[in-house]
Amino acid sequence: MTQRRMLVGRARKVAFGGIVVAAIVAGGVLARADSASPSLRQIVSYFNTIVFASELSPEMASKVVAKWQDNPVGISLSGRIKPFYIKAVERHLREITRVSGVRFKQVKPNTPNAISLYFLTRAEIMNVKGKNVDSRFIQAQMLHARCLFLAYRKPEKRIVRALIFVNVEAPDALIDSCLLEELVQSMGLPNDSNNLRPSIFSDLDHLTRLSYSDKVLLRVLYDPRLKPGTPRREALGIVAKIAAQVMGVKY
């Protein structure tokens, strides 16, 4: 489903400084961080957890690979913006592009088929209303969260819209880390797990750069050999082959 209209209180269009994150072809072996880097078996297990599981509810878990199929992907910022947020978003988008090959372009706020970031106070986020928006879900999640993302798929294999809400009352350092997490999760890696560390997917870490494991997962997801709509069991076999090449290890 796509989100048609958002009622988010104060909204202000923000220019990225002419950003269109250029395509950098993702490929080749990712340099391993150190001897403690995960094994191939661990990476496949992490992929299974992050892509095909849900910490919130089994009903929310994906049964097939889903990702953006538009390239570039539209993105907008609105709300209570300050330069630090813009620079952080630009930096994170560049890293996502370097790893995945997915490009981004600025679009107008509330544009369908795009990623929309809203920088609001907690009270404003708790009061968000709109078509196809579960207000009670947002309110429950924002009781303790600094950021929240909602992804929309149509059909199940295609991500067509993502909404990211950022609580501007949090410290800048935490906003920086949660921006990276929500942006990457909105790409098709939606779950969290404390078994994967260090990682943006762990609630125990607050990273502002992708870890080695994070890069491998994102690179594998957007490898063209892993087709959108691939069921879990079949996908994990393909993931193992791709990850072995990305990591430079024997399959």
* Confidence grade of residue 132 (pLDDT, cut at 50, 70, 90): confident
Give a yes or no: residue 27 inside a domain: no
Nearest CA-CA partner of 147 in 163, 130, 129, 128: 163
The yes-or-no verdict on residue 220 having pLDDT over 50 is: yes
- The residue segments making up the domain with residue 11 are 6-21+38-246
Q: What's the total number of domains in the chain? A: 1
The yes-or-no verdict on residue 43 having pLDDT over 50 is: yes
* Confidence grade of residue 6 (pLDDT, cut at 50, 70, 90): very low
Provide the CATH number for the domain around residue 241.
3.40.390.10
Give a yes or no: residue 29 inside a domain: no
Nearest CA-CA partner of 213 in 54, 67, 44: 44
Give a yes or no: residue 31 inside a domain: no
Give a yes or no: residue 251 inside a domain: no
Task: Say what the pLDDT of residue 11 is.
Answer: 39
77 CB-near residues (< 8 Å, 6+ apart): 14, 16, 85, 86, 89, 109, 117, 119
Give a yes or no: residue 113 inside a domain: yes
Q: How many residues does the chain have?
A: 251
Quick: pLDDT tens for 9-23.
Answer: 333 444 555 455 554
The yes-or-no verdict on residue 35 having pLDDT over 60 is: no
The rounded distance, in Å, linking the Cα atoms of 150 and 148 is: 7
Please check whether residue 164 is in contact with residue 142, taking contact to mean a CB–CB distance below 8 angstroms. Answer: no
Share of the chain above pLDDT 70, in %: 88
Quick: pLDDT tens for 171-208.
Answer: 999 999 999 999 999 999 999 999 999 999 999 999 99
**End-to-end CA separation in angstroms for the chain:** 38
Quick: pLDDT tens for 72-92.
Answer: 999 999 999 999 999 999 999
The rounded distance, in Å, linking the Cα atoms of 185 and 133 is: 18
Give a yes or no: residue 235 inside a domain: yes
Give a yes or no: residue 202 inside a domain: yes
Give a yes or no: residue 72 inside a domain: yes
Nearest CA-CA partner of 166 in 104, 84, 56: 84
Alpha-carbon distances of 24 from 6, 21, 72, 103, rounded to whole Å: 33, 9, 12, 8
Please check whether residue 180 is in contact with residue 208, taking contact to mean a CB–CB distance below 8 angstroms. Answer: yes
Nearest CA-CA partner of 234 in 64, 67, 66, 47: 64
